[in-house]
Amino acid sequence: MTRALRKSRLLALAVLALLLLAALPLLAGCGSDAEDGEAAEEPQEQSIARDQLIVATTTSLNDSGLFEDVVLPAYAEIAPDVTVKVIAVGSGEAIAMAERGEVDVLTVHSPAAEQEFMDAGYGTLRLQFAYNYFIIVGPESDPAGVADTATAAESFAAIAGSGAVFVSRGDESGTHSKELKIWEGAGREPSGDWYLSTGQGMGDTLRIASEKEGYTLTDTGTYLAQRDTLDLVPLSPESADLQNTYSVILLDQNRHTAINAAAAERLAQYLVSKQGQEALATYGEEEFGEPLFRPYAETLGSY
């Protein structure tokens, strides 16, 4: 008798479960319909309201915390009605996104690609606002003798001839294109067993270099932030061929009407303003003992 009771209860449960299962697609269907509707409307709303600024920036700039700690709080005071969304990708992808009109403003560090972008007419204004130096890091034993070289080209030539491993970003980022330019200057072909191309970001590439006891080219910020967990030391001289310049690029609203050009302009204005330049000149000092960026105005002789 209890058994029969249990059986019927089980049956009831099973029926209930089946009913729920049958109802699920209906529920899910409603949900996704509503979402589709929203997704379709959103871009239009944005282009009318212009209350959003999408910044495509390089990973190195974003990972340093400069945007989060300095630029965004300052921008919130300048333009409290604008919500800023920062998308951190390699310079190559950032520029590709800008060409497709998916972002409102670019802050990148890939001069050659930037020039191409401007020549093709996608951008309306390109302003350099910060610079620093790339560094070549490697194992403390320094088998290639990088510490004794005077320029990055010499350093790379020394590495290529030493049999030591070089780990490359290989991701078409600003750092990667800088690296390729240095190889060009060194007159060496970066290929072979000793040349490892990761296709990943700076952090991952640094870790791989550390594991493989190899050399790599890195931006200062990412290296300083991670140096405690890496068996890598900075070895390069502060030579001109390692200079790393960051630019802000305004985009042509005539090409993609959704671009929020007004908000972008206010960001660029802040970055090159006295206030912005002074803020970035000291950024990182507290945490790393040295500033991560130098104001570009410094190279012009005055603010």
Partner 1 sequence: MQLIWEGFVEALRLLLGGDAALYQIALRSLWVSGLALTVALVLGIPLGGTVALTSFPGRRLIVTIINTGMAAPPVVVGLLVALFLTRNGPLGQFRLLYSNWAMVIAQVIIALPIVTGLSLAALQQLDVGLRQQIAALGANRLQAFFYQLREIRVALLAAVMAAFGGIISEVGASIMVGGNIRGYSRVLTTATVMETGRGNFDIAIALSVILMLLAFFVNAILTQIQQRERPR
Which residues in this chain contact partner 1 in the complex, by CB under 8 A?
89-90, 92-93, 96-97, 170-172, 196-200, 204, 208, 210-212, 231
Considering the complex, state which of residue 72 and residue 97 has its C-beta at the smaller distance from partner 1: 97
**Would you call 145 exposed, middle or buried from its count of C-beta atoms within 10 A (0-12, 13-18, 19+)?**
middle
Q: 224 φ, ψ to 5°?
A: -60, -40
- Rounded to a whole number of angstroms, the minimum distance from the CB of residue 208 to partner 1 is 5
- Rounded to a whole number of angstroms, the minimum distance from the CB of residue 88 to partner 1 is 11
Considering the complex, state which of residue 92 and residue 221 has its C-beta at the smaller distance from partner 1: 92
Contacting residues for 146 by C-beta, under 8 A, at least 6 apart: 136, 138, 155, 158, 159, 215, 235, 236
How many whole angstroms separate alpha carbon 113 and alpha carbon 108? 10
Considering the complex, state which of residue 59 and residue 149 has its C-beta at the smaller distance from partner 1: 59
**CA 205 to each of CA 4, 137, 167, 209: distance values in angstroms, whole numbers, following the listed order:** 66, 11, 7, 6
* Structural contact between residues 90 and 174, judged by C-beta atoms closer than 8 angstroms: yes
Considering the complex, state which of residue 167 and residue 224 has its C-beta at the smaller distance from partner 1: 167
* Structural contact between residues 116 and 98, judged by C-beta atoms closer than 8 angstroms: no
Considering the complex, state which of residue 132 and residue 168 has its C-beta at the smaller distance from partner 1: 168
- Rounded to a whole number of angstroms, the minimum distance from the CB of residue 164 to partner 1 is 15
- Rounded to a whole number of angstroms, the minimum distance from the CB of residue 56 to partner 1 is 11
Task: Specify whether the backbone of 132 is left (phi greater than 0), alpha (psi in -120 to 50) or beta.
Answer: beta
Residue in the structure block whose two tokens are 């000149």: 281
Considering the complex, state which of residue 108 and residue 263 has its C-beta at the smaller distance from partner 1: 108
- Rounded to a whole number of angstroms, the minimum distance from the CB of residue 210 to partner 1 is 8
- Rounded to a whole number of angstroms, the minimum distance from the CB of residue 163 to partner 1 is 17
